[in-house]
Structure 1
Amino acid sequence: MRPVYLVSGGVSKFAKARKDATFQVLVQEAFDYALRDLGLEFREGIDLIDGSVASYFSDHFARQLMAGIMIQDFLGLCAKPSHRVEGGGATGGICFQEAWKAVASGYMDICAAYGFETMSRVLTWKGNEFIALASDTNFDFPVGGFYSGYYAMMVTRHMKEFGTTVEQMAGVSVKNHRNAVLNPYAQHAGLVDLGNGEKVEAKNLNVADVRRSAMVAWPLTRLDICTMSDGAAVCLLASEKGLEKLLAKGCKIDSLVRVSGVGRGTDAMRMADRPHLDYDSFMRDCALESEVGIIDAQRYRRLWTKGFRYPGVHSFRAGRQAAKQAYEMAGVRYPVSDLSFIELHDAYTSSEIQTYEDLGLCRYGEGGKFVESGAPFLAQVDYGDIENHFTSLLPRKGILPVNPSGGLIACGHPVGATGLMQAVFALWQLQKNIGRHFGNEILQVPKARRGAIHSHAGTGTYVTVTILEREEK
């Protein structure tokens, strides 16, 4: 496999509804942004790009089959090779890795990965039905299955098993909303609708606001859940030969960001069909390098003696497998110290907490405590009175920022664009260009050197983890 670099990216403004633009125009916004950032004229970019990968979750939202080829044509990329990928909420992450694969394999030197979703074209209840169709339509969907219900069930089990609290979940929402205030592309950077007739400024959001927002599926409130969105994102990936072509055209690449690790995991659609691993199987097949020491092994053994089973309905085995593969490829041994930040798929505050554990940021069962430690918060951002809710008073604030962009909960979740959006924001962090793109440097992670992006589908059916690394000159 050849080295692959993420050389540029662009995003559109994410919004509840972009009535001013078709899906083609949204992708064009992000595509033009990526070309401008390289200093390329449109025609030069089209000539250099060898092909593309298209990403969108549902034909239903756009009310258009074969939307990918319509974008390919709109961007002027016909008759170059392209294909469309789909994998639920992980669609954007899969798209990024397919573009990486096209370049790493030698098939292309420069590949465009573009994704979008226009979810406002249908009523919210209909959109939720479309999303619910990404469950087992023979068993779950006919009896009223919908994703907020699934995640509510999962987190109640997490609460029972490990003592996770609603305040810890609300802390994630406050963190992500307050981060997004400084992100001009985020959907929820201003007024946040609590769904009960109240609206509050995101910059003032607190734990009490999250808990009194409209209840969706106990214990998940409106502000524990990401929202549907219209938006697009584009990434440009290149080989070393592709870099030479770009530099020959006078492109300005501030710093090289290499794709150093990729991983994917899968699991059964129905949680009831997933195996329950015993302790020995978990340690053999699922434990990370950082978890095989005597202390961690002993703590895990105590969990199993209390009746713990993995993954149960409280953990995402696919996420662990994706992380394990990506870490091994990138040489990540201790994620909390080896990574500078993570852009994580926080469709729910509860799933962000669950995913801390899958990614090895803390032991299984300690995701809630990880929030209280302050590690996933940005040291330089004011989170209001949140410390009053956590007795530990955030002693490790900023150790490993998670979702410095605001994540899905605050940026929005236009499904096909989301994983690519994460990659773009990660690129800007690693290039140390947040100030230029956001208009302020407050969200810039200090000394950002290596970051992870994480995409997640369904109840953990497809999960991708990709490691991006800044190459020092």
Structure 2
Amino acid sequence: MRPVYMISGGITKFAKAQQDKDFRLMVKEAYDYALHDVPRFSKAMIDGAVGSYFSDHFTRQLKAASMVQDYLGLCPKPSKRVEGGGATGGLCFQSAWEAVASGRMNCCLAFGFETMSRVNTWKGNEFIALASDTNFDFPVGGFYSGYYAMMVQRHMHEFGTTVEQMAMVSIKNHANALYNPYAQKAKRLTIKQVRESPMVATPLTMEDICTMSDGAAVCLLASEAVASKVCDHPVKITGVGSGSDAMRMADRPHGKVLLLPHESESDYRHLRYPGVHSFRGGRMAAKLAYEMAGISNPGEELSFIELHDAYSSSEIQTYEDLGLCKYGEGGRFVESGMSFLSTVDYGLELPERGKLPVNPSGGLLACGHPVGATGLMQAVFAFWQLQGSIGKHLGDERLQVQQAKRGLIHSHAGTGTYITVSILEAA
């Protein structure tokens, strides 16, 4: 297995609708941006591509990734499509990494997109709900906001998590997005405004939930030989991990917590795991990625994190799965301010702000969630952070994490059925 580097990336504006652009044009815009950022690189150096999009229903086109491959002028080079619910972009990133790490390719393009505006919101929610067990959960009214409401209700019951702590996640991510021109839903919020926005599924309000979006993102991954020739500041991918779980939550067994290097069994002697309050697949993905990257204490060794916050509650749950704090302490972790940037005014008292920024891009809550592009968008932002080039690409330095050395990206599907974690480091 050989080293793999990210050498460039591009994204489009994430928007509620981009009716004047089809999926091919959106990917082409992100692709052109990525190529422009590495002028010594040429399209001829791309050996193949991996495409990602969640649902044929949104594009109303089977094999849409093949059409993108042609539109980018990459035929007849190898190509394949990957799909894995909300983790589709993360799986795409790791598939491209595998192509280069194995030696099959010296440079692989990862591209992803979604055009969710092509259907009504209720129909889009139905399509997304088909990523749950259609033999059991879906026929009895299972929609994802309901699943996540149930999970956070249990988290609140078990650990004392509060709706105010959830609202702080929403405030943070929406405020970060004010300085991200690619984001769909940037705004300043208060706890009162989050809680008074329309209730969707108790206790989740509209401001606790991400929105369906149109958008695209691309990443260029390359071998060390290619990266050294074309990129002045390549970013090394040092850890990849993934995990899975049963589709139907009732089928998930209870057992011991998968321990991370800085934990012990005594930390969780009385915890019923994973319950419906935690994601076993996320803990597995983190464990494997940390082992590969040589991380023994993520809270001390990571500079920032871009994680899958489809719901404000799932960001809190994921703090725990990633080992940033112990299970049950996610609410207190956000309340401490550690996951907030030190350069942004949130209108909150945050005693430990800036220690480990989470979702400086604005995350899914504020950027939007064009599913096939989301995990790749996280990779692009992590790449820019580690290059120290946030100001160049966003036109504002406030989202730049100072002296960023190592970042984590995290993609999540369903109620935790597929989860990916990848670690990137400044080379």
Shift of residue 157 of structure 1? Answer: 0.2
Is the Cα–Cα contact under 8 Å of residues 254 and 431 in structure 1 kept in the other structure? Answer: no
Q: Per the alignment, in what secondary structure is the counterpart of residue 467 of structure 1?
A: strand
Question: After the TM superposition, which residues 30-179 of structure 1 pair with which residues of structure 2 at under 5 Å, given as runs?
Answer: 30-39=30-39, 45-179=42-176
SS of equivalent to 2:179: coil
The aligned counterpart of 1:29 is 29
Deviations 1:152-172 (A, max 9, x none): 000000000000000000000
Partner Cα separation in structure 2 for residue 152 and residue 309 of structure 1: 19
| Structure 2 Cα separation of the partners of residues 275 and 73 of structure 1 | 45
Alignment correspondent of 1:199: none
State whether residues 6 and 235 of structure 1, in contact with CA within 8 Å, keep that contact through their aligned partners in structure 2. Answer: yes
Tell me which residue corresponds to 1:378: 341
Matched position secondary structure for 1:150: helix
Among 439, 443, 446, the residue aligned to 2:399:
443
Q: Give CA deviations for 1:259-300 in whole Å, capped at 9, x if unaligned.
A: 0000000000011000111xxx33xxx0111112xxxx4342
SS at match of 2:37: helix
Counterpart Cα distance in 1 of 2:89 and 2:266:
38
Task: Indicate yes or no: 2:365 matched with 1:365.
Answer: no
Matches within 5 A, 1:249-328: 251=230, 253-277=231-255, 281-282=256-257, 286-292=258-264, 297-301=265-269, 304=270, 308-328=271-291
User: 1:352-411 CA deviation, whole Å, 9 max, x = no partner?
Assistant: 000000000000000000001111000111001x22xxxxxx221111000000000000
Give yes or no for contact 1:261–1:467 (8 Å, CA) kept in 2: yes
Residue 373 of structure 2 is aligned with which of 408, 411, 417? Answer: 417
Q: How far 1:241 moved relative to its partner?
A: 2.5
Q: What SS does the corresponding residue of 1:120 show, helix, strand or coil? A: helix
1:338 aligned residue: 301
SS in 1 for 2:154: helix
Deviations 1:163-183 (A, max 9, x none): 000000000000000000000
Counterpart-to-counterpart distance in 2, 1:233 and 1:256: 18
**Contact 1:87/1:462, CA 8 A, preserved across alignment:** yes
Q: Offset at 1:45?
A: 2.8
Structure 2: any 5+ residue segments left out of the alignment?
Answer: none
Which whole-Å CA distance do the structure 2 matches of 1:455 and 1:333 have between them?
A: 21
Paired position in structure 2 for 1:219: 203
Are the equivalent residues in 2 in contact too, given 1:50–1:109 (CA < 8 A)?
Answer: yes
In 1, Cα distance between the equivalents of 2:190 and 2:114? 30
In 2, Cα distance between equivalents of 1:48 and 1:438: 27
Deviation at 1:309, TM superposition (A): 1.0
What is the percentage of aligned positions where both structures have the same residue?
A: 71
2:227·2:234 contact (CA, 8 Å) conserved in 1? no
Query: Among residues 233, 238, 242, which one is paired with 2:217 in the alignment?
Result: 233
- Give the Cα–Cα distance (whole angstroms) in 2 for the partners of residues 180 and 45 of structure 1: 32
- Distance of 2:232 and 2:163 partners within structure 1: 42
Shift of 1:20: 1.6
Distance 1:151 1:322 in 2: 20
Give the alignment's TM-score, normalised by structure 1: 0.89
Aligned-residue offset at 1:441 = 0.4
Deviations 1:29-65 (A, max 9, x none): 100000001125xxx6321100000000000001100
Partner of 1:4: 4
Deviation at 1:77, TM superposition (A): 0.4
Coordinate RMSD, CA, aligned: 0.9
Higher-Rg member (1/2): 1
What is the Cα deviation at residue 255 of structure 1? 1.3
Q: Distance in 1 between matches of 2:359 and 2:232?
A: 23
Q: Distance in 1 between matches of 2:50 and 2:102?
A: 15
Q: What is the alpha-carbon distance in structure 2 between the residues aligned to residue 38 and residue 177 of structure 1?
A: 31
Please state whether the residue corresponding to 2:262 is helix, strand or coil: helix
Tell me the distance in 2 between the aligned counterparts of 1:150 and 1:240: 43
* Cα distance in 1 between the residues matched to 2:219 and 2:87: 16
Give the AA of the match of 1:448.
A
Residue identity in the other structure for 1:265: G
Q: Which amino acid aligns with 2:223?
A: S
How far is 1:457 from its partner? 0.1
SS at match of 2:383: helix
Letter in 1 for 2:251: D
Deviations 1:12-42 (A, max 9, x none): 01100001200000000100000001125xx
Equivalents in 1 of 2:378, 2:351: separation in Å? 27
Return the letter of the residue paired with 1:176: N
Aligned with 2:397: secondary structure?
A: coil
Equivalent-residue separation in structure 2 for 1:144 and 1:256 (angstroms): 47
The separation in 2 between residues aligned to 1:2 and 1:377, in whole angstroms, is 35
Q: Which residues of structure 1 form unaligned runs of 5+? A: 190-201, 388-393
